[in-house]
Amino acid sequence: MSNKKSANTNLPSHRIYAVSSNGDKKSAWQEIGAVWPHKDGKGFNLQFAARPLEGAAIVLRAVSPKKAA
């Protein structure tokens, strides 16, 4: 884990997604929450805004800057 400090520590470091497959080649990704690292770097707080559907995989992805429109 990196010891880099974020400019705004209130922002989450990762997003939580529920990933489901409906039989097609493409999977459906639904954002369902966010992750914040503990100040000591030894854990994380996860906050869910929704529950994943049964059988969905839970995926954590690092937050990346949004591309300009």
Domain spans of the chain? 14-61
25 contact partners, CB below 8 Å, separation of at least 6: none
The encoded tokens of residue 69 equal 């429109």
Residue 38 pLDDT > 60: yes
Mean pLDDT of 39-48: 96
Residue 31 pLDDT > 90: yes
pLDDT score of 47: 97
What is the tens place of the pLDDT at every residue in 17-30? Answer: 999 987 778 899 99
pLDDT score of 6: 45
Rounded distance, CA 16 to CA 25, Å? 22
User: Residue 3: what residue type?
Assistant: N
